[in-house]
Amino acid sequence: MKTSDLKKVIISRLELLDEAQLKEVLLFIEKNSAKSAKEPATRYSIEDWELLPAWQQKRIEKANISLDDDQEGELHEDVVEKMKTKYGF
């Protein structure tokens, strides 16, 4: 089944739920997406920006802004290259 078909089925099922059930589903999704964000299944490179979780994108953007303001730190691209070299990504 395609991802788009799965999403349609999920949405159709969600529309049948009452408020309490929707809150349970939301709690389940938030709990499980937090786990997956901590332990990504995908190895990604700097070129795969869209694969990064939103929280990680925001942190990188914030770090880049602080670097632009002449604060201490290393550019994300430099850190990624070091990680690739060290861990073989």
pTM of the model: 0.38
The residues spanned by each domain of the chain are: 1-39, 43-89
What Rg value do the Cα atoms of the chain yield, rounded? 18
The secondary structure of 6-69 as a DSSP string is HHHHHHHHHTT--HHHHHHHHHHHHHHHHHHHHS-SS---TT-GGGS-HHHHHHHHHHHHHHHT
Which amino acid appears at position 23 of this protein? K
* Residue 53 to residues 14, 33, 89, Cα–Cα distance (Å): 24, 10, 18
Return per-residue pLDDT of the chain as tens, 89 residues: 788 888 899 999 999 999 999 999 998 888 887 655 555 544 555 667 778 888 988 888 887 777 766 666 777 778 888 888 888 76
